[in-house]
Amino acid sequence: MIEQILQNLTTQYIGHNIKYFDEIDSTNTYAKQLIKQNVPEGTLVLSNIQTQGKGRLGRAWVSAADVGIWMSLVLYPKLKPEEISALTLVAGLAMCQSLRDITNLNIKLKWPNDLVLNRKKICGILSELIIGENDEVAVVVGIGVNVNTPKFNKSLPFASSLFIESERQFNRADIIVNFLSEFEHLYELYNTQRNFSSFINMYEKLCLNIGEDVYIQNNDDKYIGHVISLTEKGNLLVKKKDGNFEEIFSGEVSIRGVGDYV
C-alpha cells in the first residue's frame, strides 16, 4: 500500500513523510508523540490494524486488518485555538468529496464529522489539539474509513463499510492519495481565510442534517432542534421548540436523527 501511495502522491507537502505500521495501538496516539519530535507538517501515520483505535466521546473504534484506512495527519495550523475545531469539518469535507469521486456512491456528511452512506456510518474523524509550552498549536486529525469491512458486530447497528453498501471492493491507496490532495487544497484555503464561510455552500450541499430535526446531546442535556444552516465558524444553527435559535459548537456534542442514527 505504501509504495502505491508514494508513487502516486500529487501533494506539495501533505503525506510526504509517512510512518507506516502493520500494527499499532492508535495512529492518533503515535502522531501526538511525533509532535514532540517536531516532525514536518503533513506527516501521515498509517496502520493496517489498530489495537486500541479511539473514537469520539471516549468510544472505541473498530480497526480490523486489511479492510480499512486508519490514519492520522500532523498539522501546525496558523490558527487560533477557537478556529481549530472547523478543521475537522474541512477534513470531513475533503474525505467526502474524495470518496464520492472514487466510488460514485452517494456519500453524505453528518455534522460535525461522520460520513454516511445509506444512513449508516462509514467514516469517522477524531481531531486532537495539542498546545505546546510556548502556546504553539499542533493538531492531529485522525480518520477512520471502513472500506472493505465484510461485516460489523450487531452491537454496532449504525456502522457499515463501502463494501457492505455497494458490494464492491475499493483500493485503499487510491482513496488515501485522492484524499491527501483534496485535503491539502482545502486546508490551505482554510488556513488563509481562517473562517468557514467559503466552505458553507460545499458543506451544506453534502450535509444530511440541513432542514431536519435532530436530537442534540451535550453531557446530560438532550433536546430537539431543527437544523437551519452552518455558520461561518462551522457551527450548526438550530431552531429549538421554544422558537429560540442556538448555535451548536462541534466540540463534545453528539447529534442523532429523531428517527434513527441520521
Q: Does 55 bind ligand BTN (CB under 6 A)?
A: yes
Residue whose beta carbon is closest to ligand BTN: 124
Which residues inside 140-159 make contact with ligand BTN, applying CB under 6 A? 142-144
Site pattern 8..47 for ligand BTN (x: CB under 6 A): ------------------xxx-------------------
Cβ closest to ligand BTN, residue 44 vs residue 232: 44
Min CB(30)–ligand BTN separation in Å = 9
Contacts of 219 (CB under 8 A, 6+ apart): 252
**Judged by CB under 6 A, which of 15, 42, 92, 124 binds ligand BTN?**
124
Determine the Cα–Cα distance for residues 149 and 162; give it in Å rounded to an integer: 8
Closest Cα to residue 157, out of 121, 113, 106? Answer: 121
> Per the structure block, which three cell numbers stand in for 170?
475499493
CB of 187 to ligand BTN, least distance (A): 17
Given a contact cutoff of 8 angstroms between Cβ atoms, the answer to whether 6 and 18 are in contact is yes
Helix (H) / strand (E) element for 98: namely: helix 86-103
What whole-number distance in Å separates Cα of residue 173 and Cα of residue 98?
12
Interacting residue ranges for ligand BTN, rule: CB under 6 A: 26-28, 50, 53-56, 59, 61, 63, 70-72, 114, 124-126, 142-144
